[in-house]
Structure 1
Amino acid sequence: MDDTEEILAHLTGTVVRGAGRGHGLGFPTANVAADPGSVVPPAAIYSGWVVRHTSGVVHPGTISIGSNPTFCDTIEVHVEVYCHDTSDEFYGERVGVWFVARIRDTVKFASSDDLIRAARRDVLRSEELLASGRGRRVRTGALAAYGKTLSP
């Protein structure tokens, strides 16, 4: 799967507390406990949109699915979303995560600094993908699923 292959999935879940590591690295994440039956794509880094069910607010995001191999502290797979436009904490909120494209595999980095550099590149790539025609179509579809439309 290359970095522009389209992803046709979305999942729903509840934002839960994580280890708090993302905040310390400069990338606070919303950790999403996927609902039973939600399709969780394979471990990788993705671009996508996060829709907050209560408000219908849509946030651009970079999504990490995996077991945090750099820190080797779990084998459990996590869904973590770094929202590009907010550092709000929305614990307990229901969200939909809409995937636009896969960016790269998850990998174990030699250091936290290497991970941070890669995360910065991932966010830039995610922004490009979200601004693409595919990204805009996925956002429109996500909004429509919640009965919302884009403002002119």
Structure 2
Amino acid sequence: MRDAPAVLAHLTGTVVHGAGRGRGLGFPTANIAPDPGSPVPPPAVYSGWVVRHPTGALHRATISVGSNPTFCDTAEIHTEVYCHDTSDDLYDERVGLWFVARIRATVKFASPDDLVRAARQDVLRSEEFLASERGRRVLAHALNAFADTADTATA
């Protein structure tokens, strides 16, 4: 039996301004505008890695793909990233998102406080996935892909 592919999904895009709700809830997010043709996985909360293209800096992340149902009733899908280990301003940066595992479905919470409680649990689960063998394989894949891209850009 073959191993499952290391990378659940991968997308690239640019960090754009969002509604700013995450910061107010204690979970500032980088809102990603995916590049045209970059595949966005189905709505859910995921564990993953963020590679910042300008520098190659890598961050552990919890990624939400969905319509923000707790706050609005829109069909528009947003990709939002909470970096566990930096509060840097990423606006206008190009990034790559490397999805490791699906944590849970996107749901509408009864209150913002319920959402914050769930987000805390999501981050803990995300850390477990990132520390797993699969998380380390995705990390290696992301670093190799970035190195290949950087080599091509300088050639």
**2:23 match:** 23
TM-score by length of 2: 0.90
- 1:75 matched to which residue of 2? 75
- C-alpha separation in 2, matches of 1:77 and 1:63: 13
How many angstroms apart in 1 are the aligned matches of 2:11 and 2:52? 12
Question: 2:7, 2:29 → 1: CA distance?
Answer: 21
Per-residue CA distance 1:117-139 (angstroms, 9 max, x = gap): 00000000000000000001101
SS class of match (2:98): strand
Structure 2 match to 1:130: 130
Please tell me whether residue 106 in structure 1 is matched to residue 106 in structure 2. yes
Aligned-residue CA RMSD (Å): 1.5
| Higher share of residues assigned helix | 2
- Number of paired residues? 144
- Paired amino acid for 2:92: G
What is aligned with 2:152? none
Q: CA deviation at 1:12?
A: 0.2
Question: Which residue of structure 2 aligns with residue 48 of structure 1?
Answer: 48
Match of 1:59 in 2: 59
How high is the sequence identity, in percent, across the aligned residues? Answer: 75
* Separation in 2, partners of 1:7, 1:106: 21
Instruction: Kindly report structure 1 stretches of 4+ aligned residues shifted beyond 2 Å.
Output: none
Q: Give the superposition deviation at 1:83.
A: 0.1
| Partner Cα distance (1:135, 1:38) in 2 | 21
Following TM superposition, by how much is the alpha carbon of 1:75 offset from its aligned partner in structure 2, in angstroms? 2.1
For 2:62, give the aligned amino acid: T
